[in-house]
Amino acid sequence: MSPVLAGVLQMLALVAALALAYRPLGDHMARVYSSTKHLRIERWIYRAIGADPATGMRWPAYLRGVLAFSAVGVLFLYALQRLQGTLPGSLGFASIDPDQAFNTAASFVANTNWQSYYGEQAMGHVVQTGGLAVQNFVSAAVGMAVAVALVRGFARSRTGELGNFWADLVRGTVRILLPLSVVGALVLVATGVIQNFSGIHEVGQFGGGTQQWNGGAVASQEVIKELGTNGGGYFNANSSHPFENPDGLSNLFEIFLILLIPSAMTRTFGRMVGSPEQGYAILATMATVWLGFTALMMWTEFSHHGPAFDLAGGAMEGKETRFGIAGSSVFAVATTLTSTGAVNSFHSSYTGLGGGITMLGMQLGEIAPGGVGSGLYGMLITAIVAVFLAGLMVGRTPEYLGKRIGTREIKFTACYILITPALVLCFTAAAVALPTPADSMTNTGAHGFSEILYAYTSGANNNGSAFAGLNADTQWFNTTLGIVMLLGRFLPMVFVLALAGSLARQSPVPVTAGTLGTQKPIFSGLLLATVVVVTGLTYFPALALGPLAEGLAS
Amino acid sequence: MNTSAGTTARLLGAGLRALLVLTALCGVLYPLAVTGIAQATLPGKANGSEVTVDGEVVGSHLIGRRYDLPPKDGQETPEPDLTWFQPRPSNGLGTNSVNTQYALVLSGATNRSGDNEELIDWVTDAKAAVVADNSVPGHPVDPADVPPDAVTSSASGLDPHISPEYAALQVRRVAERNDLPVHRVAELVRDHTEGRILGFVGEPRVNVLALNTALKELAESASAH
């Protein structure tokens, strides 16, 4: 069997697995967020928090919950790293410096998981398992909560209430993420991912002598790293490390986990607004982008243009033998079209165009299918832009799911769309214009520029993958990327929740013959065009200086 | 103003309590439960898939390593021990820069782009070395037959596998260095070649540690006779 055919069959298997999980998981999530019942463990948690889960929150209260919980998360994770040197169970690892501790705390709370540290030689058990892994759960649950709040904004009428943040946070964690993680972690262990607390220990080696391994609770962290579209690796090499991703099957399973919740959330959305077809229309756009990007990536990586790859006879630099070109390409696209950022191969050593595809995937706003929660609200925001454009064409007040998209709504939408590109382009320009940040580049020329563009693209979109040649452990990058990740995560959430509040107050507009059929294939096409035009054009000049220049030169 | 400060404090207090409870759940109970089940049911895999020969651990089935000669005085990079099958290059392997108290096995890629001069040099040199090392009298290696994995570094730097093509390329050299018949070594490579899982998942590969372990056994039994 040719490697290309094997890659295509792996994609088919992936599509089949996602399709099988789509309805049950999507319906389950819709029930979780609509239920009025509380599990016993949830009641205990609410009592500990001191929150009444039945209290409906208006959007400012919901937002305050999100921000308070996340602010505490940053402070807690920062303190944990700063105190690592004195905490037990830290394997003797030293405390993390202030700039790097801030960067890492911001990164994990913002669901980015950008890492400027070496996992296996910087973080002990306590920080990894009790700090970083916990944010993998709760930052994902926060993203899902905000998405659900927006969906409720569409589904509800003449109310300002979007639900209870604490209830959504706890339910997302307890009823969705935890059960899936327990099962997924054990599947990963069965493929060979390690799960122990042996710390650093000596192991015999072939030919005599010993080697030192770093053990840890890897499988339990690996599964939520993919499932929660987080991406922060236990080890420096992330999901290319054989202890995180031992074979082709674990690789396919991890890609499945990355795409599972974001794609199924379109079903949740459809169910909650009372029309699964609305979810299918969005899913169709997501799937088209995902399949198109994967095909392009396979094409460019298999044809391996670039002097070093021509010499080697294939683009295997930075890729593992057991995954090959196909398994690496599928993973790279899935991780950058979601907000995951885990890598099983190193994007900096992709072909020029391949590297560009990973960057463009993030720049589209990570909406195909996007991060857990953030993918859905990102795509719904784009859908609002699409109906607005359609409304302009025919001269009608645009409406979506029975809600008018008026001045107020379109202002929030525009702010959402503008934040991320502004962060990416301004900070990239500053880093390139200033004298010292460029010292961090490993490669020169167009690829060096790409390293910096990639870093801010990844930070602002909460992805977390890197053109890892960039030495990001400097005060400049730790600080600016930390700020970019926080702003790129929480400013858009402000506008999403404000929009949700505004929609929830409206009375529904009756469907007439002139209503745009947003459940139809033609709308999926319009949505696709909007994604490409709005976000694609924003970044074209920057992409032309980096990956396009490199790709066209080779 | 006071009420607003009070509200904020109450809210942060609720956030902290929520974080602590969820930390107990997701950061303590969950990993302990998964570790307990994993250690009870799959201890070998949960502890790193160690490979044991005659009761001695010789490494992990999953972690690749180098097979080099002991470095001579003043030598920066050790030379490969050509008695053994050689793994892929690992130019991006990390070094203990943060935690110098340990000699940890670290992971890492080169992150060099396709037009990077250093990478071009590494590939050129690696190709020349593979051709020179594996050409035996009467059987020169054609540079066009050197597969890409033989001259490129992996993503983790710990790739435990090589392609079946690279293993096949090394057969004559390994046979010569170990005084073994070529067909026996070729048979060994065939026995250790793993196909795609279920016929389409992953790529065909040869585990270098498993292959060298078997080679050592073969060489020892051959010299005993």
| Tens digit of each residue's pLDDT (9 = 90 or more) over A250-300 | 999 999 999 999 999 999 999 999 999 999 999 999 999 999 999 999 999
The pLDDT of residue A92 is 84
Cβ atoms of residues A355 and A450 within 8 Å: yes
Each residue of A33-72: pLDDT tens digit?
A: 999 999 999 999 999 999 999 999 999 999 999 999 999 9
CB–CB contacts below 8 A, A to B: 384
Contacts with A205 from chain B: Cβ below 8 Å:
57-59, 65
Cβ atoms of residues B215 and B174 within 8 Å: yes
Q: Is B80 an 8 Å CB contact of chain A?
A: no
Q: What is the C-alpha to C-alpha distance for residues A226 and A104, in angstroms, rounded to an integer?
A: 18
Residue type (1 letter), B17: R
Residues 50-79 of B with CB under 8 A from A: 50, 56-65, 67
Q: Between chains, do A48 and B34 touch, taking CB under 8 Å as contact?
A: no
Cβ atoms of residues A129 and A232 within 8 Å: no
Q: What is the C-alpha to C-alpha distance for residues A134 and A131, in angstroms, rounded to an integer?
A: 5
Q: What is the C-alpha to C-alpha distance for residues B85 and A4, in angstroms, rounded to an integer?
A: 28
Q: Which residues contact A416 (CB under 8 A, 6 or more apart)?
A: A381, A492, A495, A496, A499
Q: Is B27 an 8 Å CB contact of chain A?
A: yes
Spans of chain B, pLDDT less than 50: 1
Q: Which of A133, A314, A326 sits opposite B27 (nearest CB)?
A: A133
In chain A, the percentage of residues whose pLDDT exceeds 70 is 100
Q: Between chains, do B114 and A307 touch, taking CB under 8 Å as contact?
A: yes
Tell me the nearest-neighbour CA distance from A193 into chain B, angstroms. 6
The pLDDT of residue B124 is 97
Retrieve residue A49's tokens. 């928090």
Q: What is the ipTM of this complex?
A: 0.96
The pLDDT of residue B2 is 60
Q: Name the strand (E) or helix (H) holding A203.
A: strand A200-204
Each residue of A170-201: pLDDT tens digit?
A: 999 999 999 999 999 999 999 999 999 988 88
The pLDDT of residue A534 is 87
Q: What is the C-alpha to C-alpha distance for residues B196 and B194, in angstroms, rounded to an integer?
A: 7
| pTM, full prediction | 0.97
Tell me the nearest-neighbour CA distance from A6 into chain B, angstroms. 5
Cβ atoms of residues A259 and A369 within 8 Å: yes
CB environment B62-100: b (16+ within 10 A), e (fewer): bbbbebeeeeeeeeeeeeeebbbbbbbbbbbbbeeebbe
Cis preceding linkage at A369, omega within 30: yes
The pLDDT of residue A395 is 86
Q: What is the C-alpha to C-alpha distance for residues A312 and B127, in angstroms, rounded to an integer?
A: 8
So where are chain A's domains?
Answer: 3-553
Spans of chain A, pLDDT less than 50: none
Q: Between chains, do A445 and B114 touch, taking CB under 8 Å as contact?
A: no
